[in-house]
Amino acid sequence: MPSRRTVLAAGAGVTAALTVGAPAHADDRRPGELLARMTLEEKVGQVFVSRVFGHSATAPDAADAAANQRELGVGTAAELLARYRLGGIIYFAWTHNTRDPRQIADLSNGIQRASLARPRGVPVLISTDQEHGAVCRVGAPATLFPGAMAVGAGGSRADARTLGTLAGRELRAMGIRQNYSPVADVNVNPANPVIGVRSFGADPRAVADLVTAVAEGYRAAGVAATVKHFPGHGDTAVDSHTGFPVITHSREVWEALDAVPFRAAVAAGAESVMTAHILVPSLDPSGDPATLSRPIVTGLLRERLGYDGVVVTDALDMAGVRTKYGDDRVPVLALAAGVDQLLNPPDLDVAWNAVLRAVRDGELTERRLDVSVLRILRLKARLGLLDEPYVDVADVGRTVGAREHRAAADRIAARTTTLLVNEGPLLPLSPLAHPRLLVVGADPASPTGTTGPPTSVLAAALTGLGFRATALSTGTAPSAEAVARAVTAADGADAVVVTTCNVTTAADPQLTLVERLAATGRPVVAVAVRNPYDVARLTSVRACLATYSWTDVELRAAARVIAGAARPHGRLPVPVRRADDPARVLHPIGYGLTYPS
């Protein structure tokens, strides 16, 4: 194996890249020089992306410092970087990294200062999951856009690219340069508990178009998009966070369905791809999850699809990757499979030492490690981290949540709301004919974007459109008492708007709520605020909309459609099958009603 001195002496990027065994790139000079100076321990640190608790890199709250000590063996992010020389940090709301945009920018700068203060310091690639819709780690005042399936209902590639561009600008302003989005899974299973509305839809070519458009937008903003979850997580009824999903697609079905968006993303220059903790026997009969499968990561993604960018695992604390091997084996096997970044191991010390030991013992060669580190450094160079690792905190307020960004989110949302049922027609409602509205259901008191007590975004939006709307939260599993309160409240309303969230069985108490409200004789409008499949069971309502998420921007758009201030434009990006006969399609892909001009 060549020494670090050999790599450094090579100088030019192409030669350096070849020396360490990675394909040559024209921009490899600085990454190659950085790699050549690194110790083995520093190289091991570069392939890890870890969580850390706290709003500050050096002065977290006492509870967060205690959580760091308990889970990571250090008190602060700065200490974590000093100990493990990490290549990446991931932000979560639950680790208290994302209080507000200015604080996030300060945290990012603190992380960079701590890393660059070390000998041979390298900027940190800071990441998060900002998919929009159902999964957002950074809330308001950052701009919150419609989620993937809503964008799929809108069907506009231009909207998808705008979303990526504006969302990317806001992330970059806060120091976040890698986003674990977009989802490239083709959601063909209505019972999918982990993907669902996080997917753009069930048509692989439509998904491919929108995935590449969103990724283009992020690239234009200087943020690395991460296409996920390879080789495709769209046809499972098991959540890989808590179990080990099995995908039974044949190789031919995989090629025609799951592979299509990933192939398009690779051809379009995807900066990173995330693996899935799923078992696909037709692609690898070994019983290993895809994250740990060399036939899948190297054989399919790298060789068949021709991908040479950064491959990142899904979180290594998830059950799907921990069922067969221990936490000391998982990171080693992932690297052996062809992965570059190891995301959020449950025990960082165990994982870091396992990789270090595997290289020292010869199970992994240092050459193999160098290939991954070079890819990571190359990505950091392309994102400008090697030249400008810090962000201008004064710029945060001008960029994050900018008025033009929020206006763009509302325009995009206006094209996504899907009208699925409209008997009569009942919709649009008029403040003259139905002045008093009762808003009940899954989460009419949506707290998204509020800083005080939860308020009903949907009721507030309808009130702003001329109605007198009252909210009564009944939750996703309303009790008999909650149903009775809603029925009583309906007596004082001219119409009822009821939100539903994943009504999957005939015994769902949400369905009881809807049917009891319909039995009052009041006109009932249902709004499916997550999966659109709810409409198959909502047979007692006169009108039904799908918003694909209960975030503010989608609920405001739904209110405008209900009030007739906007026409519904969305079209189903997934088929909805009959509840009484799943072999038959109730509403096909592309279905959607509208109002007369």
3-class SS string, 64-123: HHHHHHHHHCCCCHHHHHHHHCCCEEEECCCCCCCCCHHHHHHHHHHHHHHHHCCCCCCC
pLDDT band at 314, cuts 50/70/90? very high
Helices H / strands E in the chain, number of each: 22, 18
Q: How many percent of the chain have pLDDT more than 70?
A: 93
Residues tagged active-site:
241, 314
DSSP state of 196: G
Q: What is the pLDDT of residues 397-441, one digit of tens each?
A: 999 999 999 999 999 999 999 999 999 999 999 999 999 999 998
**What mean pLDDT is reported for the chain?**
92
Strands (E), 112-254: 125-128, 130-132, 135-136, 178-179, 224-230
User: Between the CA atoms of 553, 558, 559 and 561, what dihedral angle is there, to the nearest 10 degrees?
Assistant: 130
Query: For residue 15, what pLDDT is reported?
Result: 37
User: Is the pLDDT confidence value at 239 over 80?
Assistant: no
Residues 6+ apart with CB under 8 A from 102: 393, 396, 397
Structure tokens at 430: 């008029």
User: Quick one: tokens of 545?
Assistant: 């909309």
Annotate 512-569 with three-state secondary structure. Answer: HHHHHHHCCCCCEEEEECCCHHHHHCCCCCCEEEECCCCCHHHHHHHHHHHHCCCCCC
pLDDT bracket for residue 192 (50, 70, 90): confident
For residues 490-513, give the mean pLDDT.
94
Q: Is the Cβ–Cβ distance between 221 and 179 less than 8 Å?
A: no
For range 462-471, the mean pLDDT: 95
Quick one: pLDDT band at residue 237, thresholds 50, 70, 90? Answer: confident
Better pLDDT: 435 or 235: 435
Q: Do 260 and 205 form a contact (C-beta atoms < 8 A)?
A: yes
Is the pLDDT confidence value at 174 over 60? yes
C-beta separation of 36 from 13 below 8 A:
no
The pLDDT of residue 466 is 96
- Residue identified by tokens 């490239």 is 184
Q: CB burial class (10 A; 0-12, 13-18, 19+) of residue 109?
A: middle
The whole-number pLDDT of residue 235 equals 86
* Token pair of 581 as six digits: 């006969």
Of 503, 511, 520, 436, nearest to 471 by C-alpha is 436
Two tokens, residue 523: 């006109």
Q: How confident is the model at residue 4 (pLDDT cuts 50, 70, 90)?
A: very low
Mean pLDDT (whole number) for 2-31: 47
pLDDT over threshold 80, residue 10: no
pLDDT tens for residues 18-29? Answer: 344 455 565 778
Residue-range domains of the chain with CATH: 4-399 (3.20.20.300), 417-587 (3.40.50.1700)
Query: Residue 123 and residue 389: Cα distance in Å, rounded?
Result: 6
Beta pairing class for 178-179 and 224-230: parallel
* pLDDT of res. 240: 76
Spatial distance between the Cα atoms of 42 and 512, rounded to a whole number of angstroms: 58
On the question of pLDDT at 8 being above 80, the answer is: no
**pLDDT single digits (tens) 362-398:** 999 999 999 999 999 999 999 999 999 999 999 999 9
Q: What pLDDT, in 10s, does the model give residues 506-537?
A: 999 999 999 999 999 999 999 999 999 999 99
